[in-house]
Structure 1
Amino acid sequence: MTNHSISATKTALPKIAIIGGGLTGLFTATLLERAFNQGQNQQPSRSPHITIFEKSRSVGRLATRYRTNSTTGKNWQWAFGAQFFTAKTAPFQQFIKPWLVTGLLQPWYAQVVTLSPASVTKDENEALLNIEHKEQWNTQQPRYISTPKMTAWGRALADELAHTTIEFQTRVAPLAQYTKHEAGKQTELFDDTGTSLGLFDWVICTAPNVQAVELMANSGFERQADITTSQMLACYTLMLGWEKGQSLPEALDHQKIDCWDVAYVKDSILDRVFIEHQKPADHELLPSITIHTRNDWSEEHVDDDIETVKAKLLAAAQQLLHWNNCSAPSQIDCHRWRYAATVVDGKDSREILGALVDRQHRWIVSGDWCGQGNIESCYQMAQEAVAAIVSY
């Protein structure tokens, strides 16, 4: 993806830096452009000059991984980050409407079950699946996915930005590393080599809170202590795939059991199972499933050797899904997320911080972890950041 050109003049105000090109950063840039252009007939002089600094080569954080079968040309595909999102508030429902119209976002009416590791019968030669119907997601509170990949929405958001530049593979140095900042003055940012990235009227940090602590340390940010109020827990993701025509594990064989799409797991280190090839618009995929582990177990083992973790997860998955030599997965991958679920002072994420605003320095620390740790929180924190800038 190429950087976006800026149509505003050099005198356009304000100049805004967004650290992080995840959904919070993209939502923030989108809402800033809309706020400054609202009622202004898109006059360039009213367009903010926004720069997103992203340390990786892509945007959006809705991670998708795939592999292609060299014989058939078909793919296995895993949404190994967020599997779906909800839109419970009217503003967010309104925000996502254009992409629902185009079909890039689609509702997912999944059949949901609870699944427990197979129990062994008295003869010890037969294991029984423990599966119970839980619910079906419906139009009352739909879950949404991005098609054909979860990454597609982030890329669409970036492509639609008209007055924003995205600088990829750019690591912003901690704000206090090269210079001291004065309240009310523009902030000069630097990359990790000490090269200046420019002067900005506002700086918005949307990184995970552990990284935000480092970026804002010793800078004089007045909400520094609040950053550590939230804790982000780890998660491991196991990705499994089967060949076309291959026998599937008993739990996935819908000729033997009723069809299901999502499973909540009990009595296991595993937490949820998602069947990828049954999602809307994904019927052409080879059999693919994604499994997330429990956050408490993941946090306890976050620094373990990844191959050791993968072996433990495979053993737990085999016990849960009940496969044999003929139905064992041919594709196996494992990913470690150091920052996944959000808790606040040991409590659940319903007690939210909100965007952390320092009006003197014109710095904002934001992100889903300032809310409930989900995609709708990304939007809500973007709203709060934009409101702080517009009302300044």
Structure 2
Amino acid sequence: MFNESFQTPLIRRIAIVGSGLSGLTAGIILQEQGHDVSVFEKSRGPGGRLAAKRVSGGSADIGAQYFTARNPDFLPFLRKYAGEESFETWQGRFGFRDSSGEWSSFPEEPRYVGTPRMTAITRALSAHVNVVAETRVGKMTRNDSEWALEDVNGNPLGHFDQVIITAPPAQSRDLLADSGLAELASHLDDPVERVLPCWAVAIHFEQTPWSHHEGMRTDHPVLYWVANNSSKPGREDSGQWWVLHGDPEWTKQNVDTPAEQAAARLIDAFREVTGFDDEPDEVVTHRWLYARSEGGDQPGHLWFSEDGIGIAGDWLSGGRVEGAFNSACSLIRTMVPDS
């Protein structure tokens, strides 16, 4: 994947914006090569779309539900830097319901989840790099050959030779535009239009509402994905927590709907799919404004060599969780050709 013994002739100071899987992967690789890396994260902790929300008795994965590993370098990277204990195979039954109401099985391949929650992976990875949490980068200013970064309140964050941005396209574009880099920002106009939102709801039942599948894709105008979160390894829930993801187009049309109303409609759709009429005894809702990208050009990464600015993210490499890793690796290979 990369040559860990490679030593650059000059230690470069590199800022990474965003501590999702792309940002942490890039940070770890560059730090292994001897560079001075700082990862800036606007939230309290790392994660990106590998997200979980605290619920009674534990947590529920409200972002990416699982990941696959088709790149032979991906699992070895996770085992080395996140640890064997941070993820396991989800031995669930996965089905797809088509418009006629017939169920089909997902293709057979290993599917992995973080244990005991998806954020376990990024939290473990973050231990290997310097993550500056609760810090939103607001502007980058060019000073000779360096970039001076400051947060949204104008506080200085340091000077860096290169910057890697791994935020969602809309936030990346805003940062570039606010830094006077309109031409670079324009490269993200199309990706911004292709990112879809998603309403996510975690619901709890004392009784099992559905026993046929642990993960389901549905051909329903409101409900896109259903998962028995409690069936994932490492979860020790009382009763069962289920996660519902809204259809992207429905979410787009209802992105400003109050959370309680959006959750009620998703629960109604869940009843329509499963036939289970009991009310959940707990409901937790989250709105993803930038959930996933569909279509468009996916070059793997963007690298503006004259400016020393790179952009990485799953949306540049297929949209899957593994795409975040692939995007970061391809960017580093371009930035440091001998890596």
Say yes or no: TM over 0.5: yes
Report the Cα distance in structure 2 between the residues aligned to 1:221 and 1:369, rounded to whole angstroms: 21
What letter matches 2:180 in structure 1?
S
Closer, same or farther in 2 for the Cα pair 1:310/1:101, shift >3 Å? Answer: closer
Tell me, yes or no, if the aligned pair for 1:146 and 1:153 is still in contact at 8 Å. Answer: yes
Identify if the C-alpha distance between structure 1 residues 199 and 76 changes in structure 2 by more than 3 Å, giving closer, same or farther.
closer
8 Å CA contact retained: 2:202, 2:242: yes
1:21 aligns with 2:19: yes
Which of 312, 315, 334 is the matching residue for 2:268? 315
Residue by residue, what CA displacement relative to the aligned partner does 1:59-115 show, whole Å, maximum 9, x if unpaired? 0221112323xxxxxx25311000101111222243234479723211123212234
Find the residue that maps to 2:137 and give its secondary structure. coil
Residues 201 and 369 from structure 1, CA distance in 2 versus in 1: closer, same or farther, beyond 3 angstroms?
same
1:333 is aligned to: 284
Partner of residue 149, structure 1:
117
- 1:109–1:136 Cα contact (<8 Å) kept: no
Residue 155 of structure 1 aligns to a residue in which SS?
helix
Q: Note if 1:186 corresponds to 2:146.
A: yes
Distance 1:221 1:376 in 2: 30
Asked if structure 2 preserves the Cα contact closer than 8 Å seen for 1:110 and 1:137, the reply is no
Partner amino acid, structure 1, of 2:174: E
Q: How far did residue 320 of structure 1 move?
A: 2.3
Give the Å deviation of 1:19: 0.7
Shift of 1:52: 0.8
> 1:338/1:186 Cα in 2 relative to 1: closer, same or farther (>3 Å)?
same
| Corresponding position: 1:66 with 2:66 | no
Please name the residue that 1:260 is paired with.
213
Question: 1:319: Cα distance to partner?
Answer: 2.2
Mapped partners of 1:209, 1:263: distance in 2: 28
> Does the residue aligned with 1:83 lie in a helix, a strand or coil?
coil
Question: SS at the partner of 2:331?
Answer: helix
- Which amino acid in 2 is paired with 1:173? G
Cα distance change of structure 1 residues 91 and 238 upon mapping to structure 2, 3 Å threshold:
same
Residue number in structure 2 paired with 1:294: 247
**Do the aligned residues in 1 keep the contact of 2:67 with 2:322 (CA within 8 Å)?**
yes
Distance 1:331 1:31, change over 3 A: same
The answer to whether the 8 Å contact 1:18/1:205 transfers is: yes
- Does the 8 Å contact 1:54/1:168 carry over to 2? yes
Does the aligned pair in 2 maintain the 1:271–1:294 contact within 8 Å? Answer: yes
Q: Which amino acid aligns with 2:46?
A: V
CA distance in structure 1 between the aligned counterparts of 2:237 and 2:200, rounded to whole angstroms: 23
Runs of 4+ in 1 over 4 A off after TM superposition: none
Question: How far is the alpha carbon of 1:146 from its aligned partner?
Answer: 0.7
> Cα–Cα, structure 1 residues 99 and 135, in superposed 2: closer, same or farther, change >3 Å?
farther
Q: Which of 80, 86, 93 matches 2:62?
A: 80
Matched, 1:135 2:105: yes
2:88 is the counterpart of 1:106:
yes
Inter-partner Cα distance in structure 1 for 2:325 and 2:155: 31
Q: Does 1:205 align with 2:165?
A: yes
1:48 paired to 2:46: no
User: Counterpart amino acid of 1:238?
Assistant: V
Indicate the percent of aligned positions where both proteins have the same amino acid: 27
8 Å Cα contact 2:176/2:184 also seen in 1: no
Partner of 1:214: 174
Instruction: Give the whole-Å Cα distance in 1 for the aligned partners of 2:242 and 2:45.
Output: 24
| 1:4 alignment partner in structure 2 | none
Q: Which amino acid aligns with 1:338?
A: L
The 5-angstrom pairing of residues 300-379 of structure 1 reads 300-324=253-277, 327-343=278-294, 348=295, 351-379=297-325
Inter-CA distance 25–221: structure 2 relative to 1 (3 Å threshold)? farther
Q: Classify the secondary structure of the residue corresponding to 1:216.
A: helix
Q: Aligned pair 1:224/2:185, yes or no?
A: yes
Q: Does structure 2 conserve the Cα–Cα contact (< 8 Å) formed by 1:20 and 1:206? A: yes
Offset of residue 221 of structure 1: 6.5
For 1:86, what is the secondary structure of its paired residue? coil
Unaligned segments of structure 1, at least 5 residues: 1-10, 37-46, 69-74, 120-129
CA distance in 2 between partners of 1:387 and 1:100 (Å)? 22
AA paired with 1:201? Answer: D
The counterpart of 1:167, out of the listed 122, 132, 149, is 132
Amino acid in structure 2 at the alignment position of 1:14 = R
Give distance in 1, aligned partners of 2:58 and 2:281.
11
For this pair of structures, how many residues does the alignment match? 326
CA contact under 8 A between 2:82 and 2:124: conserved in structure 1?
Answer: no
Mapped contact 2:82–2:121 kept (Cα < 8 A): no
TM-score of the superposition, structure 1-length normalised?
0.76
Distance 1:56 1:284 in 2: 27
Structure 2 segments unaligned to the other structure (5+ residues) = 1-8
Q: Decide which structure has the larger Cα Rg and report it.
A: 1
